Amino acid sequence: MNYVSRCRSARAAGALALIALGASCAPGAPMERGMSPGMGAMDQASMQRSMAGWHPAAQEAATAMMAKYGAPAAMTADMMVWNRTGPWKRTIIYREAVQHNFPMPHPDVMEQFVDYRVPVDRYDELAMYDGSVIVERTKGEISARCDKEGANFLALNLANEIAMGRRTPEEARRMYGEQITMMKAGRMTPYTSGLMFTPPASGNDPDRPIM
């Protein structure tokens, strides 16, 4: 095992310990399917087995999330979920990665949501901007899916500028690449450090009946 692999294994082990601790301390912690009624929390060995087959980027994202926001609210065999942490309405880390090649090849493993109402005439522009920015009109949510929280901040900040008519998809894509280059060099900016807009209390759009 090389140095990088050892470091990743150590970080993953730390993350698992945090999950186990959080699960054992949280009142009403969700039970895993198949657990006996007497087990309100998975033991650490079970948690390690649950995470063993996860994509390395997912384990790394989980470690970072737990270091910043604490243990997840729920965990299944395929995902971890945090609710109402920092600026996020919801964060989901998935066991399986989705390959994404913009702005460079990387695995999408972490989806983060905020309440937001996108003007319907901006949907096409958002689709042209980034396929990993996902709009839920009826629920009134927008999410970004990547492997780093900073990249999700960036994706949604630029999506907001497109939705407000301040930037074209082409300009946003160019800006995204420039910002990611800086982030990888350790230079964080307001675009990658947090949300530059305030999500509404609710963005839901139930539409209207036609019959």
Q: Taking 60 as the threshold, does the pLDDT of residue 88 lie above it?
A: yes
Which pLDDT score, from 0 to 100, does residue 31 have? 36
| Mean pLDDT computed over every residue of the chain | 83
Residues contacting residue 108 through CB under 8 Å, at least 6 positions apart = 97, 98, 99, 100, 132, 145, 146, 147
pLDDT tens readout for residues 170-210: 999 999 999 999 999 999 999 999 999 999 988 888 889 99
CA distance 202 to 211: 26
Q: How confident is the model at residue 36 (pLDDT cuts 50, 70, 90)?
A: very low
Q: How confident is the model at residue 5 (pLDDT cuts 50, 70, 90)?
A: very low
Q: How confident is the model at residue 127 (pLDDT cuts 50, 70, 90)?
A: very high
> Could you tell me which residue, 46 or 101, shows the higher pLDDT?
101
CA distance 197 to 56: 31
Which pLDDT score, from 0 to 100, does residue 91 have? 99
Q: Is 145 left (phi over 0), alpha (psi -120 to 50) or beta?
A: beta
Among 68, 96, 97, 95, CA closest to 82: 68
> Could you tell me which residue, 24 or 202, shows the higher pLDDT?
202
Q: How far, in Å, are 27, 58, 186, 196 from residue 93 at the CA level?
A: 22, 6, 23, 23
Which pLDDT score, from 0 to 100, does residue 120 have? 94
| 122-134 mean pLDDT | 97
